[in-house]
Amino acid sequence: MKIVSKKKIGIFLVLIGFVIFGFFFWQKITKPDLKNANLSAQQIPKWTASTQALVSKNAFKKALSPYFPAVKTMQITDENSPIVPGLLGTWSIDPKTGKAAYATKWTPQGITAISNQYILVTAYDGNHHLDSLVYVIDFKTGKYLKTVILPNQAHVGGITYDEKRQNIWISTDEKKAAELTVLKLSTLKAYDAKKSKKAIRVDETFKLPWLKATSTIAYSELDNAIIVPYFSTETSSLYGLPLNDQGMIDDQTILSTGQKNKLSDLDLQNLLKHVYCAEIPAKVQGFASLGNGYVGTFNTSYGNVSSSVRFTAWYLDDQSNTSLKEFKFKNISVSTSKKNQIIKMPPYLEQVAAHDDTSLYYLFESGATKYRLKTPEVIDRIVSVSYDDKGVYEQAKSALKPEKISLPSYDEFHSK
């Protein structure tokens, strides 16, 4: 009897061992090897970028699922969530040699959508050796089309599109001062790195010596201005740079009256007559203006903790008895409930782009080599979200009523 019991116990233990071994073996073959995911230069055609996913579609959905059930008015539109190019490797140019070079530590930063044609994503080389990039993605299919190589190694923290003039604005900060670069849409379309084997020739560049960096940027149709938030871990700032009739920044806004990049040489009092400003939430990484203005959305993120998204009603306030103007913000809900909502998102959220007033596109940097091992919530795709635009509009209308600001009708608010 004892012998039979021992045999049964032995068989049972062997079976348990097989189950445990099978479980860990299954995990090994199904769980992505994020540490060794990057591809070699031989695996990626020259002048292009990787298009492979880091994680499965199910893993992508699982990483997002804890954040959205509580926000019924924001829904992920899975079919419009393309893979972020270049996470496993991209070709660019080494500015020291002027020749093609390959790297695997690219970090995505900025995103914008262009009139149902393209989604543009900026990225910089984590080793800070190669020229920064703009990935061009087909808006309808989500397929990677090409890489645009910029003539600098900037952090490229933001990108936005002025649809009226068909200008693409990109953050291309230098080490000591902020800088904005303009590419015409026609310039971007005509560029082919495979043929030119050079960085793109930009159309305009504007240096802003009074500002250290442009953390992100957005175009505001209502204010005819480029909105420039500046990141800080304590209190961030936001500046509005008005555009002229040609859609460019005037000299008064640039305002460099002395030696380049020296704040003491600038006429700051005069500068404030030409730049709108405001204090905004700390750790801001992204901002987008919705509709024809009056409504905006902020992203805040820093480190491996949950990111935050909030909606706000905003307006330009003329300061009494002065020539100065500043932006004012009032937090609103993403729905018609009275409670102001701060929506949680996975860590490492970067820029947000608005499109057609009912969709938002969120870009995360957690798929980059530098961050993918620091969080279990790796987001390697652009997160496309539809939101309750009518609810947001009604909330903004209510919030601005005490300020005696009347919003246009709902249809006019969304007209282009």
What pLDDT does 24 receive? 43
Domain that holds residue 160: 39-413
- Assess if residue 32 is contained within a domain: no
Of how many residues is the chain composed?
A: 416
Question: How many C-beta atoms lie closer than 10 Å to residue 106's C-beta?
Answer: 31
- The 10s digit of each residue's pLDDT in 124-150 is 999 999 999 999 999 999 999 999 999
> Which amino acid, 118?
Y
Q: What is the dihedral of CA 388, 392, 393, 396, to 10 degrees?
A: 180
**Whole-number pLDDT of residue 267:** 46
What are phi and psi for residue 359, nearest 5 degrees? -130, 140
pLDDT of residue 175: 80
DSSP designation for 150: P
Residue 19 lies inside a defined structural domain of this protein: no
pLDDT on residue 65: 84
In a domain, residue 64? The reply is: yes
Q: For the segment 315-364, what is each residue's pLDDT rounded down to a tens digit? A: 887 654 445 567 888 888 775 555 667 888 999 999 999 987 678 999 99
Supply the pTM of this predicted model.
Answer: 0.87
Give the pLDDT score at 260.
Answer: 37
Rounded CA-CA distance 75/141 in Å is: 20
Is 179 part of any domain?
A: yes
| Residue ranges in the chain modelled with pLDDT below 50 | 1-2, 21-30, 256-269, 320-322
| pLDDT on residue 87 | 98
34 inside domain? no
What is the tally of structural domains in the chain? 1
- With respect to residue 273, please indicate whether it lies within any of the assigned structural domains: yes
What secondary structure does DSSP assign to 65-130, as a single string?
TTTSTT-TTEEE-GGG-PBPTTTT-EEEEETTTTEEEEES-EEEEEEEEETTTEEEEEEEETTS-S
Place of tokens 């910089």: 124
Supply the CATH number for residue 83's domain: 2.120.10
- The angle at the Cα of 369, spanning 32 to 288, to the nearest 5 degrees, equals 105
The pLDDT of residue 319: 54
